[in-house]
Structure 1
Amino acid sequence: MADRTTDPTSHAYIDYAEGLHALLSGDPTRACLRLEHALTFFGTGEDVPHVGVLHRLGMAYQQLGDTHRAIDCYERIVAITQAHGESMYRSFALWALGDAVWRQGETGRAVQLIEQSLRLTRVVHTPRTAVGCLETLGLIAGEGRDARRAVVLIGAAEELGRTVGSPTVRSPGMLVAREEFERRVSQVLGSKEVVAAARRDGQRLGFEAAIAYALGEQPPEPSADPSVRLTKREQQVAELVAEGLTNRAIAARLVISPRTAQGHVEHVLTKLGFTSRTQIAAWVVERGQQQ
């Protein structure tokens, strides 16, 4: 049918469809070719097809590793949607732009763009975009020393992605970044149990709470797995920690060596998935209120 028509609009939509098919089939080179053809027609205006083509074209260029062209596409989307008061495409473009500039080393600008995206994402309620935002912020946090926050964000992205059928890892480059992330946070946090506990805390957040956490609107409140059981000695140590005692004071109270007391405290932290004595104290108080 396309061969028999001379209508340029029809041909532009066919190029768009073929480009999208190539993109989703893992052929970004062909996707760029077809989408660029579509853009020569739709690019004369500022309507939805124009924004849609730029959206997919940016993704295709990013898959090819052509970050500069991808950024150009996303910046054009942001400009068009902002001028027309549109939020859904803009929320996606802000995240994609933030992710792209972060990969170029502009971490501060990346965080600002992604936080803008999250605020819009909350308004228009687009969980798929939130998944991308949370994951990129998690990877950024993982580059610094805030490893626990990084794992919480990734855990939130994984669970939110699972609920909407949107995987967090989208490309080989992202897969490499995730592997490096897992290695780094495991090294910083020191044990698989602590990493797993932080991931569970992220998975429990949900859409609204995850965005609030990512934006720093509410502090993370780690919660221990209810199935975790401390030994009698570990429970005693936890209660003494809650009283504000140091390891040396705990050792004196229980008539054990300071090294043994330290070992008990570390076991309690690991079992509960906590990283500070303050969290142990809060847990002891909470359990006392429930009993």
Structure 2
Amino acid sequence: MDLRIFTEPQQGASYDEQAAMARRAEQLGFDAFFRSDHYLRMGEGDPMPGPTDSWVTLAGLARETSKIRLGTLVSSATFRHPGLLAIQVAQVDAMSNGRVEFGLGTGWFAAEHEAYGVPFPKKRFGMLEEQLEVITGLWQTPVGERFDFEGHHYRLTDSPALPKPVQSRMPLIIGGGGKERTPRLAARFATEYNQSFPEKPAIAPQLDRVRAACEEAGRDPEELVYSVALVACVGSDEAEFERRAAAIGREPAELRRHGLAGSPQEMLDGIAQVAELGISRVYLQCLDIRDLDQLDLIAEEVMAKL
């Protein structure tokens, strides 16, 4: 079981605070440090210091870390042209010496688009599919050859398809709960399929849909990594757990139902539960980015016992 740290910097985090958590996660031996790709705080609260761009941030972290893997869960297809995004991700992969993992989705948060003047079309799934075709096509085009693409949303002509990522195949994460189109996209493009904050009874049926889509596409379903993202909130005792729950504005009982929360043993039990459903990677959503002590506790009392 891989444990990864997943943060939501749009809720209020500077680059330095993100870097501090990434370095601590690396020191403690977590598999990866991931961040969301958003430009606006969700819900009430202090908006300072304002948003940070995910790929600018990851470029910095690529030079400030040396082992931990880095990525987005997930970038929005509405934010960047796929040709430029392919360059950005490949460059960060080079800056990290091949430690990037690339998550891409349709985007969903209309308010952040309105706040920064980004178009937010009602129908975005076609954009996502074309972006995946463009980005993987650019990366897979042999050096010295050219790439062309003619789609409904994007057109590329005589592209040199450079630069290439360091990794021969960039790990590509596709997630979501769609019952038909999302499994087909995962089967076609992904190395990992992720469910973010699912109701636990829904995990196994969705995995079955993705596996069926792989078989229909002639792909071995076991080629994919199956993962979930769940909120993490743990304390060495009940008082510490309740303090951490209050700090992120959540109720202890609700966290226990929907996340990996409570005591370290409760977190271990929750991880075992999703593992039985076929999950081999868990993204621990750490909402208080300044609480590095929680990472220490998880590493010592949870990760060390897996």
User: Same fold by TM (over 0.5)?
Assistant: no
Structure ranking higher on relative contact order (CA contacts 8 Å, 6+ apart):
2
> Which is greater in Rg?
1
TM-score per shorter chain, which class? under 0.3
TM-score w.r.t. length of structure 2? 0.26
Structure with greater proportional strand content: 2
